[in-house]
Amino acid sequence: MSAEQRRRDDEAAREWKGVYRHYDLVKEASIAFGVVLALALVLTILFSSPDEPPSTIRSWSRTNPVDFVTTAVTELDGSSVTATYGPPYNHASSGQHIAFIRLQKWFGTNIAINAAKDFVLAPLGSMPGTSSVRAAVATYQSASASQQAAWTTAYTNALDKATVSSADTVSIPAGNYGPVAPMMASLLTFAQTGGLDGALLTNKQFYQTDYTKPLMFMADGAVLSDRAAAEHLGGDQWGMMNETGAYPGQVWLWLYTFWYQIKPFSTSNNADILVMAVMGLMSTLFVLIPVLPGIRDIPRKIPIYKLIWRQHYESLGPPPTTVQSAIEPPMPPAAAAPG
Amino acid sequence: MAAIFNLNHHAGYVHWHFIDLSVPNVLVIVIMLVVFAAAILIPFPKPTGSGGA
Amino acid sequence: MSTSAERSWTVRLRKRAVAALPPEKLLPDGQPTYVASWIYVFGVLSLSALAALIMTGSILALKGPSWWHFSSTGHFFNSLHLWSVELFFFFMVIHLWGKYWMAAWRGGRVRVWITGAVTFLVAVPCALTGYVSQQNFDSQWISTQAKDAMNSVGIGSFFNLMNFGQMYSYHVFLLPLAVTGLVIAHILLVRRHGVVPPFELEDRLKAARAGATDGASS
C-alpha cells in the first residue's frame, strides 16, 4: 500500500459521516457484566480452583532428610545455586549477559544473602542451650579454608551412602568430617521442629513478609523441583503455562515459555536474558503494529474484514458505475444520528 | 464447597515434536479460536424499526 | 468569559474536556450501522471481566490473603477471582484479534491501539503478582522460577517475587490501578474517535478513481 493510499484510507476512516442507529450502551454493558459473572459462577461451581499447600523446611527435612543435609552442606561450602548465583544476592558471579550488556550485575546486590552464614551458621548459633553445637561452629569457623573444604567434601561424598532412621535422622559411614557432621545433624533437628522456617524469616524484625531466604534455601534442594516435575511445571515442560492439577494455567505465557524449549535458548547459560530481550522486542513491536510496514497491511490483504463488515457491504448495494453513486452509496432507511 | 468436577489430578498432555501442552490449556486455545470464528461468522441480528443491541 | 475565567485552570480544563468529549459523545445512544458483528461485544466482555476481577478481588482483600485457604466461602471467592482472570484474558485476546483484522488503528486511532496493547502487557505482570501472592505451592514454584528472568535483566534487584508483602501490594493496588487507568484512557479514546469505519471495498475505490478521472477529462 503506497503512502498516498494509506493517507487517503486514514482520512476516509477518520470520521463516520454515514448512518447511525439507536443503541443502548449502558444496557449492553449491564448485560455483558451479568453474562461474565454468570460464566465465572458456572466455572467456579463446576471446577473450583487449585490450592496445593506450600512445602515447608520442616516438611522437607522430615520427608527427605538426606536431600536437606545435602543442600545444607552445599550452602556451607558455597557450591549451592544461591551461593554461586551472583547479583542481586551476592558477588559470586556476574550473572547473565548479552554481549557487554550485564544488567544483572549493573543493578547491584540489593538482596544480600550469605549462604553459609544465613542458612547454616546463624541458625545454629541461634539454637538455645546447645553449647556443643556452638563449639562445633567455632571449630569450623576457626579452621582454614582448605580444612573446611576437606571436611565438607568428605561429608558430601559420604551422603551417597547415607541411611535414614525411623526417627528421620541421617546416618553416614564413619569418616573424618570434623565439626560438619554434628553441625548438619543439629541443623536437621532444628529444621524438623520447624525452627528453621521461623529463623530464616524473622531474623530482621518481628513482622516479616519477605520469604526470600526460606524459598531460596528450598529451591536449592529438590523439594520444590520434585513436586513441580510431578505436576509438569518444569521450565523444560512448558511449565510456565501450566497449573497444578488439571486446571488451565497462564495460557497467555505461551510465547514466553516457547523460547525456552528451543535452541539456542534451551542450552544457553544466558537463556533468561535472551528470552527477555526477544519478548521485550516483540512486545514493543506489538504496541507499534500501526506503524510497522507490512504487518499493518496484512488486515487489508487477508480480507477477514469482509466477513466482519458483510452486513455493511451488503447494504451498499452493487458497485457503482457512475461518479455520483461512487461518492454517495445508497442510504438504507434507519434512525437519525445520535444527540 | 466441593467442585462438581474435581480437577486436582494430573492433566493429560498433547505432545508433538518439542510441543508439550496440557489438555486444559489446549482446550482454552481451541475454544478461543472457535469463539473468534463464531463471532465473525454468526449473523448479527439486523436492526428492526428501533434497531440496536 | 471574563479574564479571570480565561486564566482559570478549572475552566480551561472543563472546556477542553467538554470539547473533546461532550456528553452525547461520552454516552452516545446511537452507533454506526456498520457495527453489526458479534466480534464487537468482546471489548465490553473484557471490561466486564475486569469489573468482576476488581469486585472479587475486593472481597478477597476484605478478609486478607490467608482467608481463602481455611474458609469454603473464601475459596469460593478465590475461584471466582481465578476464573475471572481466565475470562479476562480470553475475551481480551479475542477482542485484540478482532481489532487487528479490522486494522482498528486507522483514522487517527493509533493511541487506541497503543493503550489497548499496553493494557495487555501490564495485565500479564498483574496476573503474575497474583499467582505469587496465593501463598501456596504454586506461589513457591512460580516465584523461585520467575525470579531468574527478573534477575537476568536487573529488575529482580528491586522487584522481588519472593517478597510476599511487596508482591501483594503490587497485585492489590499498584498494577490494578495501572490496568484500570489504561482501560479508562482506552475507552475514552474510543468514545472520542468513534469505532473505526470499515475498509472501503477495492471495486468501489477503483470505480471512484475511474469516475474521478472520467470527470476530470470530460
Judge whether C215 lies within some domain: no
**Rounded Cα gap, residues A181 and A120, in angstroms:** 13
Residues of C in contact with A21 (CB under 8 A): 30-31, 33
**For residue B1, pLDDT beyond 70:** no
Neighbours of C4 (CB within 10 A): 8
Q: What is the mean pLDDT of residues B3-15?
A: 92
- Residue A128 has what pLDDT? 75
pLDDT at A329 over 60: no
Contacts of B48 in chain C (CB under 8 A): none
What's the CA gap between B7 and A247, in Å, rounded?
6
Residues A125 and A184 in one domain: yes
Peptide bond preceding A88: is omega within 30 degrees of 0, i.e. cis? yes
In a domain? residue C159: yes
Q: Which helix (H) or strand (E) holds C195?
A: none
Do A204 and A100 share a structural domain? yes
CATH number at residue C136: 1.20.810.10
Alpha-carbon distance of A333 to A313, in angstroms, equals 15
pLDDT computed for residue B51 by the predictor: 42
Which residues of chain A make contact with B52, given a CB cutoff of 8 A?
21-24
Q: Are residue A75 and residue A190 in the same domain, yes or no?
A: yes
Tell me how close the Cα of A128 comes to any Cα of chain C, in angstroms: 28
d(CA A120, CA A187): 7
Residue C4 has pLDDT above 80, yes or no: no
Task: For residues A92 and A108, state if they share a domain.
Answer: yes
User: According to the model, what pLDDT value does residue A203 have?
Assistant: 66
Counting DSSP H helices and E strands in chain C, the numbers are: 11, 1
> What's the pLDDT at C1?
53
Provide the pLDDT for residue C209. Answer: 73
Is the Cβ–Cβ distance between A200 and A118 less than 8 Å? yes
Q: Do A15 and C168 touch (CB under 8 A)?
A: no
Mean per-residue pLDDT, C167-184? 98
User: At residue A197, does pLDDT exceed 60?
Assistant: yes
Cis peptide before B47 (omega within 30 of 0): no
Chain A residues with CB under 8 Å of C137 CB are: 52-55, 224, 227, 244
Contacts of C34 in chain A (CB under 8 A): 16, 18, 309, 311-312
Please check whether residue C8 lies inside any domain of the structure.
no
Q: How far apart are CA C202 and CA A300, in angstroms?
A: 10
Give the containing element (helix H, strand E) for C45: helix C41-63
What are the boundaries of each domain within chain B? 12-42
Rounded to an integer, the average pLDDT of A323-339 is 48
Q: How confident is the model at residue A338 (pLDDT cuts 50, 70, 90)?
A: very low
Rg (CA), chain B: 19
Are A213 and A253 part of one and the same domain?
Answer: no
Q: How many domains does chain C have?
A: 1
Residue A264 has a CB neighbour count (10 Å cut-off) of 10
Q: For B42, which of C38, C42, C86 is closest by C-beta distance?
A: C38
As a whole-number percent, the residues of chain C with pLDDT over 70 amount to 96
Residue C67 grid coordinates: 482467608
| Closest CA of chain B from C153, distance in Å | 27
CB contact under 8 A, C47 and A47: no
- Chain centroid, CA C19 distance in Å: 24
Average pLDDT value for chain A? 92
pLDDT at A337 over 80: no
Neighbours of C124 (CB within 10 A): 16
Give how far the C-alpha of residue C105 lies from the chain's centroid of Cα atoms, to the nearest Å: 15
* Cα dist from C29 to A26, A312, A338, whole Å: 9, 20, 6
Q: How crowded is residue A126: how many other Cβ atoms within 10 Å of its Cβ?
A: 14
DSSP state letter for C172: I
Q: Is residue A183 part of a domain?
A: yes
CA dist list (Å): A82 to A151, A154, C194: 21, 21, 54
Tell me the backbone φ, ψ of residue B14, rounded to 5 degrees: -105, 110
Domain that holds residue C152: 103-195
Size of interface A-C (CB pairs under 8 A): 310
Please check the confidence at residue A120 and state whether its pLDDT lies above 70.
yes
Predicted local distance difference test score (pLDDT) of residue C7:
87
Of A39, A273, A299, which is closest to C153 when you measure between CB atoms?
A: A273
Whether residue A182 is found in the same domain as residue A264? no
Distance CA C88, CA C42 (A): 10
Per-residue pLDDT, averaged over A249-261, amounts to 95
* Closest CA relative to residue A327, chosen from C196, C217, C218, C207: C207
Q: Is residue C145 part of a domain?
A: yes
What mean pLDDT is reported for chain C? 94
Interface of A with C in 247-286 (CB under 8 A): 248, 250-253, 270, 272-273, 275-276, 283, 286
Taking Cα atoms as reference points, which of A246, A202, A203, A196 lies closest to residue A221?
Answer: A196
Full residue range of the structural domain in which residue A166 is found: 57-227
CB pairs under 8 A between A and B: 92
Does any domain span residue C130? yes
At residue C212, φ and ψ (nearest 5 deg) are: -65, -40
Who wins on pLDDT, A323 or C166? C166
Cell 538455645 locates to A128
Average pLDDT over residues C128-136: 97
Instruction: Name the residue among C36, C38, C94 with its Cβ closest to that of B32.
Output: C94
Where does residue A263 fall: left (phi above 0), alpha (psi -120 to 50 degrees), or beta otherwise? beta
Q: Which of residues 2-31 of C touch B (CB under 8 A)?
A: 31
Q: For chain B, what is the mean pLDDT?
A: 88
Query: How far is C-alpha C206 from the chain's CA centre?
Result: 38
Q: What is the pLDDT of residues A259-318, one digit of tens each?
A: 999 999 999 999 999 999 999 999 999 999 999 999 999 999 999 999 999 999 999 887
| Domain co-membership, A168 together with A268 | no
Give C204-214 pLDDT, tens digit per residue. 777 777 776 65
Beta-carbon contacts of C169 under 8 Å, excluding residues fewer than 6 positions away, are none
Same domain, A140 and A165: yes
What's the whole-number mean pLDDT along residues A148-176? Answer: 94
Higher-confidence residue of C26 and C7: namely C26
Cβ pair A218, A55 in contact under 8 A? yes
Name the minimum distance, in Å, from the CA of B35 to any CA of chain A: 14
- A216 lies in the same domain as A104: yes
Q: B15 to chain C, minimum CA–CA distance in Å?
A: 23
Shared-domain flag, residues A217 and A163? yes
pLDDT for position A1? 72
Determine contact: C137 vs chain A, CB below 8 A: yes
Could you write out the three-class secondary structure of chain A?
Answer: CCHHHHHHHHHHHHCCCCCEEECCHHHHHHHHHHHHHHHHHHHHHHHCCCCCCCCCHHHHHHHCHHHHHHHHHHHHHCCCCCCCCCCCCCCCCCCCCECCECHHHHCCCCCCCCHHHHHHHHHHHHCCCCHHHHHHHHHHHHCCHHHHHHHHHHHHHHHHHCEECCCCCEECCCCCCCCHHHHHHHHHHHHHCCHHHHHHHCCCCCCCCECHHHHHHHHHCCHHHHHHHHCCCCHHHCHHHCCCCCCCCCHHHHHHHHHHCCCCHHHCCCHHHHHHHHHHHHHHHHHCHHHCCCHHHHHHHCCCHHHHCHHHHHHCCCCCCCHHHHHCCCCCCCCCCCC
Residue A17 and residue C22 in contact, taking contact as beta carbons nearer than 8 Å: no
Best B25, B26, B27, B33 member to test A by mutation, with max A CBs in 10 Å, is: B25
Residue A316 or C124, more confident = C124
**All 3 cell numbers of residue A202?**
524473622
Residue C38 with chain B: CB contacts under 8 Å:
38-40, 42, 44
C-alpha cell at A266: 534451551
Q: What is the DSSP letter of C103?
A: T
- Inside any domain, residue A44: no
The whole-number average pLDDT for the span B6-31 is: 94
Q: Distance between CA atoms of A228 and C141, rounded to whole angstroms?
A: 7
Q: Running DSSP on this structure, what letter comes out for residue C156?
A: G
Mean pLDDT of A15-44: 96
Same domain for A164 and A200, yes or no, is yes
Q: List pLDDT tens digits, range A56-105.
A: 999 999 999 999 999 999 999 999 999 999 999 999 999 999 999 999 99
Mean pLDDT in residue range A121-139: 89
| Percent of chain A predicted with pLDDT > 70 | 93
**Quick one: average pLDDT of A204-210?**
87
**Phi/psi-derived region of residue A245, left when phi > 0, alpha when psi is between -120 and 50, beta in every other case:** left
Number of domains in chain A: 2
Closest CA–CA distance from residue B53 to any residue of chain A (Å): 6
* C188 contacts chain A (CB < 8 A): no
Question: In the predicted model, is pLDDT for residue A111 greater than 80?
Answer: yes
| Statement to judge: residues A200 and A257 lie in one domain | no
Question: Alpha-carbon distance A332 to C181, whole Å?
Answer: 39
